[in-house]
Amino acid sequence: MARELLEYFNERCQIQQDGCIYWIGTLSKRGYGDVHKNKIGRVYGVTSAHRLAYLLHYGTIPNDKIICHKCNVPKCVNIEHLYAGSLSDNLNDCYRANRRRSFKGENHPYAKLTERDVLEIRDLRTYGYSCAWIAPYYNVCNGTIKDIHTKKSWGWL
Ligand SMILES: [Zn+2]
């Protein structure tokens, strides 16, 4: 692994008393360390700092895995707080904590998706999964995923 990558990473880590290591570079709207606009992110094909942490430690990220946080701190890049989970692990464990609750959309009689689904879909898009990949999982069409991603629908979440 390139030395510049390690340096880039180490320069942006800050160890916390509780054991988490916060990413002090750019954060995404959802609070994840954001590297995708950076040359490093483009070269190594990673969008988030915690994925970069995993990549640095293990040298690879399995294609069908999502890197999840045990500590539920999105900006944490402590390798010991990260694990490669399956999509369903992620849906079950990863993003439960501290979600803002609102039932505006899912109370709609025709709603196929729950609020949680919508937030998960946005996360999946953040992780780089395509609309076409996500849509069948939720039994909706590509356009629905796209609208959620661009906040054309469910914009209040
Ligand atoms: Zn942590």
Ligand 1 center to residue 135 CA distance, Å? 30
> What protein residues have CB closer than 5 angstroms to ion ligand 1?
20, 71, 73, 76, 78, 81
User: Higher-confidence residue: 38 or 150?
Assistant: 150
Task: Quickly state the pLDDT bin for 88 (edges 50, 70, 90).
Answer: low
SS3 state at 1: coil
Regarding pTM above 0.75, the answer is no
pLDDT one-digit tens code per residue, 92-137: 544 444 343 334 455 444 457 888 888 888 888 887 888 888 887 7
Question: Which residue type does 144 have?
Answer: T
44 and 52 in contact (C-beta within 8 Å)? yes
Ligand 1 center to residue 156 CA distance, Å? 28
Task: Quickly state the pLDDT bin for 67 (edges 50, 70, 90).
Answer: confident
Which residue is listed with tokens 């915690």? Answer: 50
Task: Quickly state the pLDDT bin for 1 (edges 50, 70, 90).
Answer: low
pLDDT at 156 over 80: yes
Residues in the chain: 157
Q: How high is the mean pLDDT of the chain?
A: 79
Ligand 1 center to residue 50 CA distance, Å? 10
Q: What residues does each domain of the chain span?
A: 3-86, 99-157
- 126/122 Cα distance (integer angstroms): 6
Which residue is listed with tokens 């990863």? Answer: 94
